[in-house]
Amino acid sequence: MFQRFAQICAAGAVLAAATTAGAETKVPFALDWKFEGPSAAYFAAVDNGHFGEAGLDVEISAGQGSLDAIPKVATGAFPMGFADINSLIKFLDQNPGAPVIAVMMVYDKPPFAIVGRKSQGVMAPKDLEGRVLGAPPPDGAWAQFPAFASANDLDVDAITVEPVGFPTREPMLAEGKVDAVTGFSFSSYLNLVRLGVPEDDISTILMADHGLALYGNAIIANTEFAAANPELVTGFLGAVAKGWADVIADPAAGAAMVQDRNPAADVALEQRRLQLAIDANVATDYALENGMGGIDAARMETALAQLAENYEFQTTPDMSLYFTDAYLPDAAMRMLK
């Protein structure tokens, strides 16, 4: 039922794109979150003409998480989107044949992190033992904690886990009610700064730097739409890479583009959020050497095995169901610097 509904919706998306008046093809793009610093690359692709050069008229919509963005693309309501590949893998395991796949890796390292207070003794993974960890139950970083604990040989029985809400997570850490929290590195860090926690008292333990091979957020596409419009998808991905190169070269301009769409945004804060995402998640050694967008097959196999420590697969994991590089432009078109 889901597959048939998705195919009908995807066909509608293809038809809508094909019948757009004028030279540019309309392509709605679903973000996973609200307009913040890391969104700047997509705004740069619009404002600096990269999408236009590819013959695309891209309308960017904010979202409410990867679990919001993935169904939008799977049903064809949006032909392209941005979402966590680990959430996509689970979605496809639970909805076999759903027409959605990752086509370009953006966060070569996911932002899943443990963010703690040095003054409360949390500077390394082992420091969590004997302390209180605040974790929102739906949090993406918390979902990876079993594999993180295994990779770092943590005694989970020695860690007190306090379920917290997203709005109270950083305030509880700032008030000393918990010693560390799970969250996205760039978001939790800056939320603590805004709450007045001294920056030299904040420790960010990025799970990708401590044993996890998992990938992060990727550009996702409706497979029916992509099959019918391969050159369009490749042009879209090339424009995204150029947008990221732009904001890496000039993060201040990127933050200003965010504020243009979100007037309530603190432009200095969003520039810092963007820079944190660039440094930790996007411009990794692998991406700088190979161009952004691709994956290492051996690493992905390890990532799937680690994901199986956090999630019980209903079917045998198959990397080809979750990611394809078939639409990526040449590496030279994806270089970040």
Tell if the pTM clears 0.85, that is, is over it.
yes
> Would you tell me how many other CB atoms lie within 10 Å of the CB of residue 180?
26
According to DSSP, the β-strands at 56-61 and 217-222 are unpaired
According to DSSP, the β-strands at 112-117 and 202-206 are antiparallel
Under 8 Å between Cβ of 321 and 94: no
Count Cβ atoms within 10 A of the Cβ of residue 163 and give its class: 0-12 exposed, 13-18 middle, 19 or more buried: exposed
Query: What pLDDT does 24 receive?
Result: 87
**Sheet containing 180-184, strands listed edge to edge, beginning at the edge strand earlier in sequence:** 160-163, 132-135, 180-184, 112-117, 202-206
Under 8 Å between Cβ of 319 and 148: no
According to DSSP, the β-strands at 25-30 and 80-84 are parallel
Along the 337 residues of the chain, how does pLDDT read in single tens digits?
454 444 445 444 443 454 344 578 999 999 999 999 999 999 999 999 999 999 999 999 999 888 899 999 999 999 999 999 999 999 999 999 999 999 999 999 999 999 999 999 999 999 999 999 999 998 889 999 999 999 999 999 999 999 999 999 999 999 999 999 999 999 999 999 999 999 999 999 999 999 999 999 999 999 999 999 999 999 999 999 999 999 999 999 999 999 999 999 999 999 999 999 999 999 999 999 999 999 999 999 999 999 999 999 999 999 999 999 999 999 999 999 8
Query: What pLDDT does 337 receive?
Result: 87
Quote the CA–CA distance of 246 and 234 in Å, as a whole number: 19
Q: Which domains does the chain have, with CATH numbers?
A: 2-108+215-334 (3.40.190.10), 112-209 (3.40.190.10)
Query: What pLDDT does 65 receive?
Result: 86
3 state SS of 167 = helix
